[in-house]
Amino acid sequence: MKPFVTTPCYTPAHQLTALPKDEEFAWCSLGDDPQFTLKKAALLPGWQMLEIEIAHDQPSAAVKLYMDTGEGISEEQSVYLPLKDGRITKRLLYVPRGLKKIRLDPLESEGRFTVRHLRFVWLTPWFAHDRLSQRLANMHFQWRGFQKAKVLPELKKLAAQQNVDWRELAMQHYEATFERFTTGRNYQAWLTSQPVLTSEEIKGSIQRLRYTPLISVLVPVYNPPIEFLKECLDSVLAQHYSHWQLCIADDASTDPAISELLADYVEQDRRIHVVTRKTNGHICAASNSALALATGEFIALLDHDDCLAPEALLEMATAINHQPDACLLYSDEDKLDDRGYRYDPHFKPDWNPDLLLAQNYISHLGVYNTKLVRALGGFREGFEGSQDHDLALRVSAHITSQQIVHVPKVLYHWRAVEGSTAINSEQKGYTSNAGLKAVADHLSSHCAEAVVEHGTFPNTYRVHWPLPDKVPFVSLLIPTRDRIEILKPCVDAILARTDYQNFEVLILDNGSTCLDTLSYMDAIASKDARVRVLRWEYPFNYSAINNFGAQHANGEIIGLINNDIEPINAQWLTEMVRQANRPEIGCVGAKLYYPNDTIQHAGVILGIGGVAGHAHKYFTRHAIGYFTRLHVAHNLSAVTAACLLVRKQVFEAVGGLNEEYLSVAFNDVDFCLKIREAGYRNVWTPYAELYHHESISRGADDNAKKRMRAAGEVAYMRKTWAEQLDNDPAYNPNLTLVHEDFSLR
């Protein structure tokens, strides 16, 4: 039986205009709400598959389909679908009876586009249920680990418990697998879904505390808007945890209302202490004046127009109870506008030392051991604007990683008003210079030869790590079989576009029979002394081939390189060697692009799709990424072996790649986790850029044998690393494990 296919016609209804035929695109969206009305779309009720492809000039795009059954257009009767560049995107939908009208919103912004493919395919209930179950089992964190056949029965039980229609619940879960990061809309929905503690739960949490440290909240004050200062102070008074002290330093504010307000608060609560400075000394001097008032074991830093969440200090006290020797604690944060609207949440990773060198990701809420801060001299004058960054660097340098605790909850609301760094860091250029000074000072004490410079964006920094006078010899291992059309561009580009000269290329030939390929390998090895060809005449096993290559490598550093890699910037290998040469670093990964200049790899996030996924996949080449993460070096749990450097000593210490269980996939993730377990940090750098024609040489898992092998590799990874796969310290538990885009879970 042939599927019932509907190919609807569409006519512009709002914010759309047709472009001339000689233009690259057919349509132009004139605003953020373009709309088509679909005609000849009398869809059969029941399950349908929407198929759509839109070419566009936007960094990313999504469509929305609205179904009107006579009650008008509503969000409840809509489906959302982020588009994939260059291919047809599909999703299930359920068409209700009595459909009167369908509206398609092709973009969410101004831009140009062409609808290349649009149709609906009616599905039998059996097939639709099968596709639905498969996607939930593969993509939704709640159904991971369920056999496909058990998803719907369990979902129906859950729906019965919640007294809702099972199909409605199923489509809610299905919809979540298409969610993407859209600040404002998604965060508001996320906030409304967060549990609110009852008074009994709060009381119970406090009673369970074995240790109730006094936390001194430091607030340097200088002429803030009165209403914002009041909200700030009220947020401390509203804390669930009562064992706090509020230490306020008025830095010679010129507004008399400030001192009047502070005097009123001192009268209200004996835990509030105020010192008034005679002269304005700026934020570091004022913070030190507030620090002098502190009698608590810990200090918490609060700006004079920001707010704490009511549970902030309770969560910090709870974390201290779980980690009694903690000396630096920090939380997630969001922004607060002048209307009290919360937006732009920053869900941070756990301790990430390379990221802290690149930006002050710790920021708010920061809680520090008071005795240690005083021993280090408190806040240093001359670092105004990045005094928190400077303090975090100095404190972290004197404690162990186990004494740094991340509380993955939004406990701090950073006020974003006109002129503040929260809105635009460029508005306070001195903060970026102060941060550069803080990082440089830190490096002078720990790696004097390292040089830091401003990064691509304000308040980001790039460290150039030193190389020894005798630079390390590097062995680049390139497994291959035939396919001269990809091998030759790869090898030729490495030889021609690499400014680091102390390296060799080992072509690991896995049974090539193509005469042109064999001829090329012989010719390049004869022509260039840096190239050697080694034969490995066994069935394909990526791990075994590279382990074989490592045995024959002369380099102190080994590079695992796919045969479909092409360097972009000549400094790629220099940058990676600089990182790999650091004694604390294990694996080093690069920034890889698809040929269409979208991101293929920007590090590996554990747990996505069940095992691991590539961070920021499909983002455009110049996209900023999640809080500029695409433009700063930082630590990750794993990186791809498509382009990976590691010291040979470290490679051998962990036994190389896993030949027995991971012959094709996830061997790099497993390898990186073994290295992390051995005590090294893995790092990803955006300053090594290469193209990667992913998997075109090996092919897809498109037959039963390959699928069985792939399933076995997934099972091995889940069995071996399950707990770590579900708790990536370089990620955040509030972020999705469905997609690679850092959207909310």
DSSP label of 529: T
- Give 500-512 as a DSSP string: --SEEEEEEESS-
The whole-number pLDDT of residue 189 equals 74
pLDDT of 1 higher than 80: no
Which region holds residue 130: left if phi is over 0, alpha if psi is between -120 and 50, else beta? alpha
3-class SS at 74?
A: coil
Q: What is the pTM of this model?
A: 0.78
Q: What is the 3-state secondary structure (H, E, C) of 436-474?
A: HHHHHHHHHHHCCCCEEEECCCCCCEEEECCCCCCCCCE
Backbone dihedral region for residue 122 (phi beyond 0: left; psi -120 to 50: alpha; all else: beta): beta
Overall average pLDDT of the 100-121 stretch: 90
The pLDDT of residue 184 is 38
- The DSSP bridge pattern shows strands 461-464 and 451-454 to be antiparallel
In CATH, what class is 199-446? Answer: alpha beta
Of 544, 586, 576, 592, give the one whose Cα is nearest residue 692.
592
Which stretch of 469-473, 562-566, 739-743 has the lowest confidence by average pLDDT? 739-743
Residue 153 confidence (pLDDT) above 80:
yes
CATH class of 474-725: alpha beta
Q: Give the whole-angstrom CA distance, residue 659 versus residue 320.
A: 43
pLDDT at res. 332: 98
Q: What is the pLDDT of residue 421?
A: 58
Question: pLDDT band at residue 186, thresholds of 50, 70 and 90?
Answer: low
Look over the chain and give the mean of its residue pLDDT values, rounded to a whole number. Answer: 91
Question: Which residues, 6+ apart, have CB-to-CB distance to 550 below 8 Å?
Answer: 475, 477, 558, 648, 651, 652, 656
Predicted pLDDT at 708: 83
CA angle in degrees (0–180, nearest 5) for 376-379-384: 145
Query: What does the pLDDT read at residue 702?
Result: 53
User: Tokens in use for 409?
Assistant: 């909850």
> Domain 5-123 belongs to what topology?
Jelly Rolls (2.60.120)
- Give the domain ranges of the chain: 5-123, 199-446, 474-725
The reply to whether domains 199-446 and 474-725 share a CATH topology is: yes
The secondary element (H helix, E strand) that includes residue 127 is helix 125-139
What whole-number percentage of the chain has pLDDT above 70?
A: 94
Name the band, by pLDDT with cuts 50, 70 and 90, for residue 423: low
Q: What is the distance between the alpha carbons of residues 382 and 218, in angstroms, rounded to a whole number?
A: 19
